[in-house]
Copies of this chain bind each other. A is one copy, B any other.
């Protein structure tokens, strides 16, 4: 059946369409932190941040169903819910960020953020790290490090070395913040020399796709100083760390203690309903609205707004940010207690965990690939990240608790003990 499913999928979606796992999982049902496949097998979801407040949370489902039965239009008509949501969401943000453009995907949000930096500065040069992913529009995918696009890489993009826990920039963890900033300064100089000028830097405050960097207060201060000195904007991609996931704070950038100019959000925002947003200070928004026309038909529609509001209700009502902090501390103790000779580092950013494996000086890429397949066979959905794809990535729904943490840690130790 799985084989014929793969064939049917290739026939209808084309070749090379990514799946997770050598034997892809065929899911049919979800509830809380649990997923079920077509054969009835149950999986603990240790990976999906989209179902932020738990798969199929009834409060969010009800909000979607009720609003979909009442009205679903767009923001060229007045509607209360989108404004109620922006007001409530921006109340969680500091640094004067009080306005939003509602869109449908994190990619659309980051595509807008790039233009906001252009609008404020009048420049087009943009910086990101050399091992990141911020989305899939033609413009945003230029910040990724995949194969070069047709027509070549955009000349206004500079990629700086991503920070790393085991191989820190500048040779030590203490030297890394300044070393990262120095590389940014060099990239700015290149963009200025090439005539593009410098519009800003886009980054994830916990460097999630780069392999996960535990949030450390002040880590980005030297970088922010360089960006401010040279007149650029800080475009902060909070798609992964945001909405309480880092545990200590509601937003990743507040865990690091810096002030972004633009914040983008997506995946977890409405527990899976396709909605995202680009948030900014009024001065940035005004510059954007002056320089560019923009309207998004589906963005901020009443159903999306209702789903967003309901997701915030659950985050607050069920105390999911503090739960993330508690589960994180508990699971980190369990992960640090894992015994295997290839484990090189165990790290966390709240409800986001990385376990890095190395063989000598090399990333244990194949080892982690096999470990992931083994864990999936054991009923645990997780994956891997990092430059060498040698770091186990666990980023479960926020309803993940002590009981689930124990199940995951026990299974990991069992899988590691066989290797």
Contact = CB atoms under 8 A, between A and B. Distances in A.
Interface of A: 2, 5, 8-9, 11-20, 24-30, 35, 38, 48, 50-51, 55-56, 58, 60-61, 64-65, 68-79, 82-83, 86-87, 90, 98-101, 103-108, 111, 114-115, 118-119, 122-124, 136-139, 141, 144, 146-147, 149-151, 156, 196, 266-267, 271-275, 280, 282, 285-286, 288-299, 301, 303-304
B83 A71 contact: no
B151 A138 contact: no
The 9 closest A-B pairs by CB, nearest first: A14-B285, A65-B65, A274-B298, A138-B139, A26-B78, A72-B272, A118-B150, A274-B274, A16-B289
B68 A150 contact: no
Contact of A105 (B24, B108, B266): B108
A386 to B, nearest CB: 17
Nearest to A1: B78
A290 B138 contact: no
Nearest to A86: B12
B61 A69 contact: yes
A71 B27 contact: yes
26 contacts: A9-B83, A11-B98, A13-B100, A15-B289, A20-B76, A25-B77, A35-B73, A55-B72, A58-B69, A61-B65, A104-B108, A106-B297, A108-B136, A115-B149, A118-B149, A122-B150, A136-B294, A136-B295, A138-B139, A141-B293, A151-B196, A266-B297, A267-B297, A273-B274, A274-B275, A274-B304
Given A98-B12, A285-B15, A139 B139 contact: yes
Contacts of A79: 26-28
Contacts of A271: 72
A416 to B, nearest CB: 25
Contacts of A17: 75, 289
Determine how many copies of this chain the complex contains.
Answer: 2
Given A20-B76, A138-B111, A138-B138, A61 B71 contact: no
Contacts of A295: 18, 136
A117 to B, nearest CB: 9
A64 B307 CA distance: 12
Contact of A70 (B8, B24, B56): B56
Nearest to A284: B14
A150 B124 contact: yes
Contacts of A136: 108, 294-296
A61 B50 contact: no
B108 A298 contact: no
Given A55-B72, A65-B65, 15 more contacts: A5-B83, A11-B99, A14-B288, A15-B285, A26-B78, A27-B71, A28-B71, A30-B70, A30-B72, A56-B70, A56-B72, A61-B68, A114-B138, A272-B303, A274-B275
- Residue of A26, A30, A48, A274 contacting most chain B CB atoms (<10 Å): A274
A99 B119 CA distance: 38
Contacts of A38: 78
Contacts of A118: 149-151
A314 to B, nearest CB: 14
A135 to B, nearest CB: 9
Nearest to A48: B73
A76 B76 CA distance: 34
Contacts of A15: 285-286, 289
A317 B108 CA distance: 35
A232 B291 CA distance: 32
A74 B20 CA distance: 10
